[in-house]
Amino acid sequence: MKRIVINLYPNKDKTDKKFLKLIKKYAPSAFLAVIILVAVNITLFIFSSLSSLPYNSLSKKWQNLTPQAAVVNSLKNELTFLREKKEKYQNLVSYNIEISHIFADIFKSLPKNIWLKEIVFSEDRLRLIGCVVEWKEERLTSINRFIKNLQKEPYFSKTFKYINPASQRKKKFFGLEIMEFEVECKSSN
């Protein structure tokens, strides 16, 4: 017996067949491409996990060396500080200032009622910070006498041409009224 097939949608059958032909034609290629992509993905995963092993060991070593790195960084900071300090001292030497003469002149010029708290050198300047008490003369008179004595010292006045009082303030010190003062000496204006 023969089978008879009547096609009521002649166009649909052709499009279905074309679609099926395309699927049959490209399905093996697509399946092969998917297999290749999965294989590449697995290979890259294995490669990245194997290559991360040295980095993991390096990160553990770095964690062990972190305290030493902190010590090295602090030493670097101290080294830069010392270099800056060295430059300041070299600036003093470059001006050919003999500090021992400066200190000797300051010591000779000090009245008995004045004592120095701090002496600060910076480039071409010298700041003398001290205190004065009233003894046989007024405090301001003692400060002026100290400045005039410094101006009379040959080496000091040659090194520092401008010697001026910078500030003065009254204070109480163990019940005594004292005056804290600052004298600024400059080699050039």
Instruction: Give 136's DSSP letter.
Output: S
pTM of the full predicted structure? 0.49
pLDDT value of position 61: 81
What sign has the CA pseudo-torsion 85, 88, 92, 90?
positive
Q: What is the pLDDT of residues 68-103, one digit of tens each?
A: 888 889 999 999 999 998 887 776 665 567 888 999
Residue with tokens 């046989």: 136
d(CA 27, CA 38): 16
pLDDT value of position 94: 57
Do 109 and 79 lie in a common domain?
no
pLDDT value of position 15: 54
Quote the domain boundaries for residue 181.
99-186
Q: What is the pLDDT of residues 28-37, one digit of tens each?
A: 888 999 999 9
pLDDT value of position 43: 92
Do 122 and 177 lie in a common domain?
yes
Evaluate whether 40 touches 32 at the Cβ level (below 8 Å).
no
User: Where among 94, 115, 133 does a domain terminate?
Assistant: 94
User: Where among 94, 119, 144 does a domain terminate?
Assistant: 94
132 within domain boundaries: yes
The residues, any chain, with a CB within 8 Å of residue 146's CB and separated by 6 or more, are 109, 110, 111, 114, 183
pLDDT value of position 121: 86
Do 104 and 175 lie in a common domain?
yes
Helices (H), 110-165: 139-152, 154-159
33 within domain boundaries: yes
23 within domain boundaries: yes
Do 58 and 105 lie in a common domain?
no
- Block means of pLDDT (10 residues each) for the chain, 189 residues, are 72 64 83 93 86 74 84 92 85 69 92 92 87 88 93 91 91 87 87
pLDDT value of position 7: 67
Evaluate whether 183 touches 165 at the Cβ level (below 8 Å).
yes
pLDDT value of position 149: 94
81 within domain boundaries: yes
pLDDT value of position 151: 94
53 within domain boundaries: yes
pLDDT value of position 150: 94
CA 137 to each of CA 84, 132, 142, 144: distance values in angstroms, whole numbers, following the listed order: 43, 11, 7, 11
CATH of the domain at 117: 3.30.1360.100
Quote the number of domains for the chain.
2
pLDDT value of position 174: 85
User: Where among 76, 94, 112 does a domain terminate?
Assistant: 94
DSSP-based three-state secondary structure for 18: helix
pLDDT value of position 91: 66
CB-side neighbour CA atoms (13 Å) of 2: 3
